[in-house]
Every structure is written in structure tokens, then in C-alpha cells.
Chains A and B, each alone.
Chain A
């Protein structure tokens, strides 16, 4: 094990709060990041010898602020770091600063930091890349691997994103309640997008992209600690934990997709399920229903079923009906149709999805489900057409292979 492991982990943990405070202080993302990097270098020198400070984030903010001031003053980055004895009185200062940090202030700091990553001028992939780099502190190389692009291209993407938000006016005053709610919603959407980047990866990319799911869950927990009574944030965290609990069962040894009902439920991560269910329980107490909570409730019904045949499909159909009322979309209706097929049979489900044909003309899952329903109804020729369309629209080799296996079964049945 890396001897310095704990220092690295302490720096990662302190990063959001420290960078967010330095951003408020310098009002410039690049300066804030540089100041934080400087402080990290100091920490790597001093913490292994002196042990961790009582409040690592406060230590880093203080040191980063001083370094940043020096940097601004000299406008030079070639200066050596100041001598260790200059930090000798840090203990008291750190304690005083920690007291001041214990207010509402740092909540809004971190929310602001996350929110600028969600700037509406930025395309979603840039939002995610920026959050991974600035808030999570992932090395550019790892982000590049996760997005299947070269490191230079990713570096450029992040630089462009920063330039764009640098040109936008950032509000540094304390947000009002409605503005805070808007920011929270934007940040939650970005976090779920980040999660899906990792979740939608095939088995072959799981190593590079799987960490995106972990980062998304970490960010959701961070948000929850700042806003502990927000049921939709609880729902978001629960949804991701419950979906991620199945990570080891979703692909077989050859990297082929294993459908939910065929998965080995013994390989689902029980700790993640326990945490997801606990968060959902907490959220539902608030009686303020929202899309993340409803989707988490669906995931919870799957997690609670010991065997596939124990799944409460009528309840799942109802939940998707509820989701249609708060967040109507053809994809939600498609999901409800899956549950309806289980409850009322394929004919009812097929009738439900026919009106979606136009809206979902380019959607892999629409044709996958349509083919499967037609197959159930013995309409093999039409099923084959739908499956072929699905293969053409598949987003990954695993998706295409999965449908091909359906087709093979269809051929064999004839």
C-alpha cells in the first residue's frame, strides 16, 4: 500500500470545500485551483511528518489563500515555496478559520462551485468533465479515458469550458431560496448525467468508466450533507446506489448484457442496497414526491425482490404512471409498458407503445421491447423487423449482441 495513501485521501476529501472557498476568495477558478494545488504540495511535505491537521480543509484554505496572495502579488509561478517555519503558527489561525467555516457559508460555496460546472452555456459532456476535474480532482488522463478521447483533447475541452464560464458573470452573493433550489436541481441533473455516463458503459469500458458512477455517488452524498433535508437529493443518491448495487451482475464473463431478471442476485452489493433503501425511506417521509424518488422506488422494488418472480410489477407500473404525471416522456411510458407487459400481458403493452413509434423512431430500447412483445404474440416476421431495427440503433456491441441472441432464438423457433 502507498505509504502516503491517507494524505491523498484527505486531500481528495477536502478538495470541494477548499477549492470552493478559494474560488469565493479569488473569484477566479484558475487562481483558486492553482492555490489549492500549491496548498496540496505543502500538505504532502508537512502532513506525513507532522500528522494530519485537525481540520484539513481549513488548513488547505489558509495555506492556499496565502500562496494565492503571494502569487497574485508577484505574478510569477516560478518562486520557491516559503519556508516551513512560516507555517508554525498555523494551528491557531486554522482553529479560528475553522470556526468561521462552520457557518452556512461553505454550503453555498460548494453549491456555487458545482453550479458553475453546470453552466447552461456548456454542453453536458463539458459540464461533467469540468466537475470531474475541478470538484472531484480526477486527473485529466483518467477523465479522458472515461470519455474515450485523448488526453490533449480532454485538456482542451476543459480549458474551453473554463474560458466560457470565466466570461460569464458569476454571482458571489448568497443565493436566495428559489435560486438555491434552482442550483440544486441543475447540480442534481449533472450528477445523474455523470452517473449515466458510467452506468451505460459496456463491460469492455467498465474499468475506465465505472469510476464515474462512484464519483457521482460521492457528489450526491456531499450534496446531501450540505442539504440534509432535501428528499429529491436523497432520492437521487438512493437511485444511483440501488442501480450501482447491480454492477457485478450486469455482464457475464464474456461481457454480454445480463438482463435484470437473469442476474445472479447474490452478486448484488447488499451494502449499497441497504444505503439506498435507507435513503429512500428517509425521503418518502417528507411526502414531497419527485422524479428521482419515484425512480428510486422502482429500483427499490427490484432490490427487495429475492427472486425475479417476487417483483411487484403492479406497483412498478403504478410508479411509472406517477412518473408520467410529474415528468412525462415517451421513455417513461416505454418503461411503464414493460411493467404492464408483466401484469396484463404483451398485447396491452404493445397497444401502449404503438403511439410512441414516431417519438422513439431512433431509440434502441423501443425496438427491442417492440420485438420482444411481438415475439410473445407469435408475430415472428414483425418481431424480426423490429429486432433488426434495434441492432441498427444499438449504442454498444453488447446491446447489439443481446438483440442478435433474441433473433437467433426467433429463427430456431421457426
Chain B
């Protein structure tokens, strides 16, 4: 089963990380990612620019309306996502626990089973 892991955290808190702290967290997360990759379970990984760079298109009665900023004002923002292959929810939970241990503190991971996935052809 394919799962999307949506990473939420306080943008301000992450934005105040020192370079050392940032590199340290990324190194620890890379260990988890490498394990998944070796097992052939790691799909696309994306890190998003801050929500201040976001634009939202609302579907309205008079056609699409462009709004600056993210879709919703939330305490923790969607900062990135993974697609991972897991045999079960338990396996997904175990993987996400590893991510949480690698990057402890504030924030949450939402685990959403994927109903349809097309790999597409884009590689940045």
C-alpha cells in the first residue's frame, strides 16, 4: 500500500533553526530515508517553500479566484511530504516514528493512504 506522509510543523520554529541544527536534522532524516530507499519503499520526497510563497485558487461561483497565501491559516504548516510503500498501517507508523525520532519536538506527521498515484515524468 502506498502512503503519503504529510509533514506539519511550525514554520517559524523551523525558520529559526541554525544552519548547524538544520544540517543535523537533515542528516538524521537522511538515515531513515536511505533505509527506505534500500528497501525499495521510498517514493518522491518534497520539501515545500514557506507558506508565504503560496497562492491559493478558490473555486467560486464567478469562476476561480486567486488568493495570496496558503489554503488555511493553521498553527502548524504543511512543510513537505513523502510517498512511501508500506505493507500495513503498522509498518507506516513504525517508519513515521523513525522520522519523528530523527526530528523530535514540535510538529506532526499525517499518514494518508494513497488511492491513486501516477509517477509522472518531472524530475527537478
Q: Do A and B bind each other?
A: yes
Which A residues are closer than 8 A to B by beta carbons?
1-2, 5-7, 9-10, 12-14, 52, 54-56, 98, 102, 218, 221-222, 224-225, 228-229, 234, 237, 271, 274-275, 278-279, 282, 285
Rounded to whole angstroms, the CA-CA distance of A222 and B67 in the bound complex is 18
A10, A224, A234: the one within 8 Å of B10 (CB): A10
Is B75 touching A54 in the complex (CB atoms < 8 A)? yes
Rounded to whole angstroms, the CA-CA distance of A187 and B105 in the bound complex is 32
Is B52 touching A274 in the complex (CB atoms < 8 A)? no
Is A10 touching B106 in the complex (CB atoms < 8 A)? yes
Across the interface, which residues of B come within 8 angstroms of A229, CB to CB? 67-69
Rounded to whole angstroms, the CA-CA distance of A102 and B73 in the bound complex is 9
Across the interface, which residues of B come within 8 angstroms of A98, CB to CB? 75
- The total number of A-B Cβ pairs within 8 Å is 74
Is B52 touching A9 in the complex (CB atoms < 8 A)? no
B55 within 8 A of A: yes
Across the interface, which residues of B come within 8 angstroms of A228, CB to CB? 52, 68-69
B12, B15, B49: the one within 8 Å of A278 (CB): B49
B16 within 8 A of A: yes
Across the interface, which residues of B come within 8 angstroms of A218, CB to CB? 12, 15-16
Rounded to whole angstroms, the CA-CA distance of A9 and B15 in the bound complex is 9
Is B12 touching A285 in the complex (CB atoms < 8 A)? no
Is A279 touching B13 in the complex (CB atoms < 8 A)? no
Q: A10-B13, A218-B16 are in contact. Are A52 and B50 (CB under 8 A)?
A: no
Rounded to whole angstroms, the CA-CA distance of A375 and B42 in the bound complex is 59
Q: Counting chain B CB atoms within 10 Å of each CB, which of A7, A98, A221 scores highest?
A: A221
Q: A10-B13, A222-B12, A225-B69 are in contact. Are A282 and B105 (CB under 8 A)?
A: no
Q: A52-B105, A229-B68, A282-B55 are in contact. Are A6 and B13 (CB under 8 A)?
A: yes
Pull 20 A–B residue pairs with CB atoms less than 8 Å apart, ordered by A: A2-B21, A6-B106, A7-B105, A9-B106, A10-B105, A12-B13, A13-B12, A54-B75, A56-B106, A102-B73, A221-B15, A222-B12, A228-B68, A229-B68, A234-B68, A278-B49, A279-B52, A279-B53, A282-B53, A282-B55
Across the interface, which residues of B come within 8 angstroms of A56, CB to CB? 10, 106
Across the interface, which residues of B come within 8 angstroms of A225, CB to CB? 11, 51-52, 69
Is B53 touching A278 in the complex (CB atoms < 8 A)? yes
Is B53 touching A13 in the complex (CB atoms < 8 A)? no
B17, B55, B75: the one within 8 Å of A55 (CB): B75
Rounded to whole angstroms, the CA-CA distance of A47 and B40 in the bound complex is 37
Chain B's closest residue to A237 (CB) is B52
Q: A52-B105, A228-B69 are in contact. Are A9 and B50 (CB under 8 A)?
A: no
Across the interface, which residues of A come within 8 angstroms of B75, CB to CB? 54-55, 98
Closest 9 CB pairs of A and B: A6-B105, A13-B12, A228-B69, A13-B13, A278-B53, A224-B52, A9-B13, A12-B16, A228-B68
Q: A54-B75, A274-B49 are in contact. Are A6 and B16 (CB under 8 A)?
A: no
